Structure 1
Amino acid sequence: MPRITADRAGGVNVCAMLDTLAYAEIGPEMLADSDDGYNVLVGSLPGRMLTFGSYADHPDVYHAATDSTAAGRYQILSRYWPHYRAQLGLPDFGPLSQDRYAIQQFREQRALPLIQAGRFIDAIAAIRNIWASLPGAGYDQHEHDIDTLARAYEAAGGKFSGRSRDWYDEVEKRL
């Protein structure tokens, strides 16, 4: 569960989307075996966790096998961290700062109002270029299917925009 409150995040749906991203990027087993994903390094696998010990700053650890410096609950790349840290006035790489970073990404991709309105599929389509684990991201990495993510979103308390689950069959084609 994100550390930011629903009020500060912009609503329950925003928190549910943060949980959905953590599910997609980290996975439930590693979320349970870590500080809810906030201290996980790219390249981690269940049973072989790679973590960092300080939230003072982005750990900037390069993982050669994935050619990445992604870290934290939302697998934030070190090259983007200084910009967002300054822009948002983030004090550290702690859980609340990571949550705020991800929400800023939602905002920049024009997904925040979609998320708040419960337009889950449209929101995923808007942010999939940021997170490789989302359907249609196209980074040659494992992508979760939309139904699995919708179940994670719903389990996290997310509400859909009044559409039934049959709606997924129709809109999944867009992803």
Structure 2
Amino acid sequence: MRFDNVRVPAANMLLGEGRGFEIAQGRLGPGRIHHCMRLIGLAERVLETMCRRADERVAFGKPVSEQTVTLERIADARIMIEQARLLTLKAAWMMDTVGNKAARAEVAMIKVAVPNMACKVIDMAIQLFGGAGVTNDHGLGAAYATARLLRIADGPDEAHRNQIGRLKLRRHRMARN
């Protein structure tokens, strides 16, 4: 979009001239928390689907749910989801109590951690489903595509990791001095 010769009345300015990026940045934190909450819900649904399939599917003469690798994957998924949930809860709590700017490291952390967790949980489910996991019958491919997209949306993992690293180094240097 391109705007030529557009004037905004002073009474309609939100923060002031040239501060549009600042306004947009202020909305990113809550939006990122929302994305992460949705992905945690998606991972929960996938884990439930995985548990049902583990009980129903038989391989090598016994239910897949009795195989150690399946139990470990289900346990790992449960642990990863809980870790992501708690980190997201902390980021939301910080945003509510100390504001967007002070919570930016935690928001960046969930932006990296939650989509990666969801991709891993969904991948484990696909593996458990076998060939059926990559068909459209169970929705796992679509779930993976959604989780993978959110590793890019609102900035790639690398950009958020760099921000987390810079913030950590800044705090370390301030504490040292």
TM-score, normalising length from structure 2? Answer: 0.28
Name whichever structure is richer in helix by fraction.
2
TM-score, normalising length from structure 1? Answer: 0.28
